[in-house]
Structure 1
């Protein structure tokens, strides 16, 4: 049995009640582990330390954790954690709600100067967004830009399209949604009623209805039993009447001697579907969820441990390819399903117009009766009597729901000349006319088509990920083939290679990479080493521009700047700050790399230009003394004498992970970077904001290493952002 890795909508409904018991706790600090686990440390007057965990990666959860189960705080907080600390430190936790029946939790925090809302999206790719009092996004772990919704700093937060809540739906609405399906009972409950597979099976079991019964064969009594089973679950969740269980796998006696059982599920109450599994009970569902995910992480760590001398293992490309292909298949099925649903809604609207007189007669009859204050049950009896008398309009009515104020009619499609056309059930708002009811169906078709567009955007992303995995597989196999060929060549004489080339470590496939952090004086500036080995440093602001010229510019260095306003001071160093230097005849290749560095970190990139011009001068041509009557701003300089120009220099940089002789993220002109790193990503001016581009690069680089924890430590998104120019960027294919 697969281990549960995501909380369901029903799980979240049970958790909300318990999480609200911590109302009034004060926020102490925010931490972000990796790029998907948010920890909020709070203090409660009665309970003391409270650890709220929100994870939105491969594992999706939100609960309060036992402090003993919380990992030590990570190192330097990334920007998202810093922003939360600034906005929320000292704020009171004001409560949490589940958004409709979706896997979305909305946490409210109040402070005298400003309030903050945290929205945790525990579905799909997962996300956490921080909103201000107006609902505007202050920051988010991921930027989402789809036709159906946008989650980006500065934009109003948009929730996904509403989903049906099966725990609140009326009997009439439940029957309608079930009858509209062309599948069996359990699949309809899982997909159309949004219950998911496990709870759909549980509802069937509790109602005594065979899971695979086709919808066409289900009786009204069976539908009523299913609805009652749902109502009981809903009442139990709303009242907080839980009996939590953590379920474990069932082991044979021999297996039990070798290892402890893995956890496989956590539920707010015992499930008939898990009747044969061992389980552990808990006093609260929150405690059960905490224990489950703590043990899940521990199980994964134990399984993932390898001997210290173990050789790097081949990544399971086939599993990842299969996973992505399954996702594509599911997304394609969803797109087709949306197309069918939208077309069905339009056909229903057109059918109303095709049978306009008949439908209008039904609606007019009901409306006149209601105006005369005739009870709904008498209206239903009158229509039943009319049907028995053969009145066509009355014969179309199959249900009258006074609680919902609806009338359901069954109309026959086709050309109307025979009885061969299929019948279609349509629920009508009894207080409205034919046109309003038809328009409602057209609007529903448009809404479904919007979901289809969102799914089409998602499938593009998944297909891109699939191609990336296939490319990595091909690269790996090519390296294996080359290694085998080299080994075969050397096996003949057993002698070492004599070509003088060093052995190249395959850092990407190593299961563990030792971290050797540098401590360089120039780290606080922009910097890179040219392909010929010379250090280049650039200012990040006016203060650093001043400092570079006054403190670090040597007489044999070269000073670079761009023709465009707003470029950094860039120095090509002939030697280090404490070293004596001799005159250097820099190569043309070196000079072009420095020019590209200066252009790429200037306003040329920020303005979206693909290229720019730079110039170079000797240090003695640079002065802070202006002409008489003129003024020089801080960070600016007067250049006197001839300049050497570099025209149409491409705006392009590479960012990568260096593994030897030190481990660090580096960035600069591609020709200077790609040979110094284990792997790199090249960027050019584009559409993605600096922080979004950094996250994209981080995820791309992390996916290439077997030791992904190494990338998180030396090349996090915040560390990579230091090397990405301000303004929009795109990854170069």
Structure 2
């Protein structure tokens, strides 16, 4: 069997009940690894050092890890890690929770009057969002924009739509859910009651009810046995009455559970004193065993696990789409039934409303309706129940039970049901959009696997010239790096191999003019306030200055660079002007009576203008020569990179655009680890202009 790679809602309920013991710990530092693993190093008065690992990439989990097994701290912290440190360093972990019965763990931290919540989404593609005290997203590893929900910096965080919590459902509601199905017991428990496949089978086993029993044949005794099994499971979770196990098959781990499972009786098992400890050991062994299996092919991605993951997500999303369609249809049927039995419904509502106006209590109204039903009054006979707490009555219209609000008329009640149908239909449309995106990811994973399998002669390809290698399809791309003096600036090489450097801020503008602008270089600046000093170097900084003829296309590319990284892009304009002068025309000495700000300069004499320069840039991954991200004018960059993404001013903030480009590169390269090392979102962001961007098809 395939090893477990994601936690179920039951697993998370058990885990959270144990992790609450760490409430009160103080945060020392936060780390981010490879965009998918967040580490929170904390200290606890009783336990000493505490390490929380939150993984939202395969495998997905949250665990208080053994400090001896946490990965070494990464190098330079990316922006996300720095933001997280700024918000929760020295903060106290005050609450560990699970959102409803979903696969979401929440970690709340307080520091003085500040409250920060880390939301770890362990479903679908996974995500981790950081919320402020108002519930707004400060930042997230992934930006989500669907019809059903949005997770984006600056927007209120939206949890997924609520679903039934099987551990808190009443017996009547449980039976109603079961009887509303037209399939067998185990499928109904898995989907309608929201247990998932494994624990649906476990409930059947504990209740001694055949999982293939058709719902139409189920009896009250079997429903009672199933509900009792659910109730006992819920009690064990509430009271942290756990007996965790790691299950093995052929001496390799395949599952970790908070209880012994009847469905796993045939497997070797190891018991643990806590589920968190079992999960920590399981994840460690899972990763080590995966490394051992791949020893012959150390860089081969686990295509099968990735494909299986997306297939599971598609199946879940398709199930949700079907459920939403059925739910919307039920609301519409009830609305139409209200109109079809207009006179009866109006009589019920008028009778109850009049009784309330006369001061009768809900219990009295229920008794009067029961008396009326005994006398054969049709309106009273139609009333099934009265809910005084909610202020509603439920009536039977043909074969449908319909909840009504007596404070409203017939039309308002029907309209409310139609609105509910529309709301659910919108959720269905959001799910359709989500499943389409997941199918694209599934097809991309299959395509990467096919590309790998076509590349059956890697060893021979190693000896070929770089120009003959399809680096996108290679399973392992070698890293070749070097350090250069200009990397702290913005930079690119023109089509004619001239270096162009630009300032990132006022200090760098000062440095470029004072230290690096030499006699035969060319100076560029956008014809707009707010832009980098841009210098096209005729020679290297250690070479003697000499007269060099610079081709027009290199001059045009330098001008485009100056425009792209100026306020022109930030303003959302698609073209701008730039000018070019000789170094002798640039001075830090202002005219008499004038003042130059830091990073400013005076330009004297005639200027050469570049008009209507296109505001477009390319960010790409260079493989040959050096392996790195590069960015700049399309004509210069596209010929140097193995693959690139063309950008223009658009709606995505700089950090979101960097993540979109990163995901695009991951889709294109078979070697995922190579992309993470040389083209992480933070490295990509260094080459993106300030302001919003979007990819050009």
Task: Tell me the TM-score normalized by structure 2.
Answer: 0.90
Aligned to 1:566: 530
Q: 1:173 aligns to what?
A: 173
- The Cα offsets for residues 197-255 of structure 1, whole Å up to 9 and x where unpaired, read as 11112222222333233333333333333222222211111111111111222x4xxxx
239-248 or 331-340, which deviates more: 331-340
Contact 1:129 1:139 (C-alpha < 8 Å) held by counterparts: yes
The one-character-per-residue Cα deviations of 1:156-186 (angstroms, maximum 9, x if unpaired) are 2222222221111112222222333333322
Secondary structure at the residue paired with 1:12?
A: helix
Deviation at 1:317, TM superposition (A): 7.7
Aligned position for 2:271: 281
Root-mean-square deviation (Å): 3.4
Matched, 1:345 2:321: no
2:253 pairs with 1:263 = yes
CA apart distance, 1:50 = 0.7
The CA distance in 2 between the partners of 1:373 and 1:111, in whole Å, is: 48
Whether contact under 8 Å (1:172, 1:401) holds in the other structure is no
For 1:93-135, what per-residue CA distance to the aligned partner results, in whole angstroms no more than 9, with x for missing partners?
1121111111112211111252211111111221111122222
Cα distance in 2 between the residues matched to 1:547 and 1:391: 92
Kept in 2: contact 1:266–1:288 (CA 8 A): yes
Q: Using the TM superposition, give the Cα deviation of residue 46 of structure 1 relative to its aligned residue in structure 2, in angstroms.
A: 0.9
Q: Please, which moves more after superposition, 356-365 or 283-292?
A: 356-365
CA distance in 1 between counterparts of 2:612 and 2:44 reads 61
Match of 1:450 among 416, 422, 426: 426
Contact 2:370 2:380 in 1 (8 A): no
Q: Which residue of 1 aligns with 2:284?
A: 294
**Distance between the aligned counterparts of 1:502 and 1:515, measured in 2?**
13
User: Hey, what does 1:197 align to over in structure 2?
Assistant: 197
Cα–Cα, structure 1 residues 373 and 399, in superposed 2: closer, same or farther, change >3 Å? Answer: closer
Three-state SS of the structure 2 residue aligned to 1:523 is helix
- Corresponding residue of 1:528: 492
- Deviates most, 545-554 or 352-361: 352-361
Give the conservation status (yes or no) of the 8 Å contact 2:369–2:380: no
User: 1:265-304: per-residue Cα shift (whole Å, max 9, x none)?
Assistant: 2111112222222211111111111112111222222222
1:4 equivalent to 2:9? Answer: no
CA distance in 1, matches of 2:427, 2:187: 20
Q: Which residue of 2 aligns with 1:732?
A: 696
Contact 1:14 1:268 in 2 (8 A): yes
* 1:88/1:325 CA distance change after superposition, 3 Å: closer
Indicate whether 1:646 and 2:610 are aligned: yes
SS of residue paired to 2:80: helix
Match of 1:599 in 2: 563
> Is the Cα–Cα contact under 8 Å of residues 108 and 117 in structure 1 kept in the other structure?
yes
* 1:538 Cα deviation from its structure 2 partner: 0.3
Aligned to 1:116: 116
CA distance in structure 1 between the partners assigned to 2:274 and 2:308 by the alignment:
38
Q: Equivalent residue for 2:155? A: 155
Q: Secondary structure at the match of 1:605?
A: helix
- Paired with 1:262 and 1:320, the residues of 2 have a C-alpha distance of 19
DSSP-derived class of the 1:634 partner: coil
Shift of residue 47, structure 1, vs aligned partner: 0.8
Instruction: Answer yes or no: is the 8 Å Cα contact 1:518–1:664 preserved in 2.
Output: no
2:634 to 670, 675, 684: 670
Larger displacement relative to structure 2 (201-210 or 683-692): 201-210
**In the alignment, structure 1 residue 714 sits paired with structure 2 residue 678:** yes
Q: What corresponds to 1:254 in structure 2?
A: none
The structure-2 alpha-carbon separation of the partners of 1:307 and 1:11, relative to structure 1 and needing over 3 Å to count, comes to closer
2:136 corresponds in structure 1 to 136
Q: CA deviation at 1:449?
A: 2.3
Q: Match of 1:241?
A: 241
Q: Determine helix, strand or coil for the equivalent of 2:596.
A: coil
Counterpart for residue 684 of structure 1 = 648
Q: Within the alignment, does 1:545 sit opposite 2:509 as a pair?
A: yes
Q: CA offset at residue 456 of structure 1? A: 3.3
Deviates more, 1:714-723 or 1:700-709: 700-709
Of 137-146 and 322-331, deviating more is 322-331
Q: Is the 8 A contact 1:24 1:93 kept in 2?
A: yes
Structure 2 residue 669 is matched with structure 1 residue 705:
yes
Alignment CA distance shift 1:140-1:175 (3 Å): same
Q: What is aligned with 1:417?
A: none
User: Partners of 1:477 and 1:63 in 2: how far apart?
Assistant: 35
Using the alignment, how far apart are the partners of 1:632 and 1:217 within structure 2?
87
Change (3 A) 1:115 1:475: same
Q: What is the rounded CA distance, in whole Å, between the counterparts of 1:245 and 1:228 in structure 2?
A: 23
Q: Which moved more, 1:455-464 or 1:337-346?
A: 455-464
Determine whether 1:694 maps to 2:658: yes
**Structure 2, gaps ≥5 residues long:** none
What residue in structure 1 maps to residue 470 of structure 2? 506
Q: State the partner residue of 1:577.
A: 541
**2:290 maps to 1:304:** no
- Deviation for aligned residue 1:91: 1.2
1:222 and 2:222 correspond: yes
Task: Count residues in correspondence.
Answer: 692
Distance in structure 2 (CA, Å) of the matches to 1:192 and 1:137: 32
Structure 2 distance, partners of 1:355, 1:209, is 41
The structure-2 alpha-carbon separation of the partners of 1:350 and 1:12, relative to structure 1 and needing over 3 Å to count, comes to same
1:433 Cα deviation from its structure 2 partner: 7.5
Aligned CA distance change for structure 1 residues 535 and 84 (closer, same or farther; 3 Å):
same
Contact 2:191 2:319 in 1 (8 A): no
Separation (CA, whole Å) in 1 of partners of 2:9 and 2:406? 32
Corresponding residue for residue 554 of structure 1: 518
Q: Distance in 1 between matches of 2:217 and 2:420?
A: 27
CA separation of 1:518/1:379 partners in 2, compared to 1, >3 Å: closer, same or farther? farther
> C-alpha displacement at 1:595, in angstroms?
1.6
Output the CA distance in 1 between the equivalents of 2:334 and 2:416.
Answer: 10
CA distance in structure 2 between the partners assigned to 1:686 and 1:325 by the alignment: 33
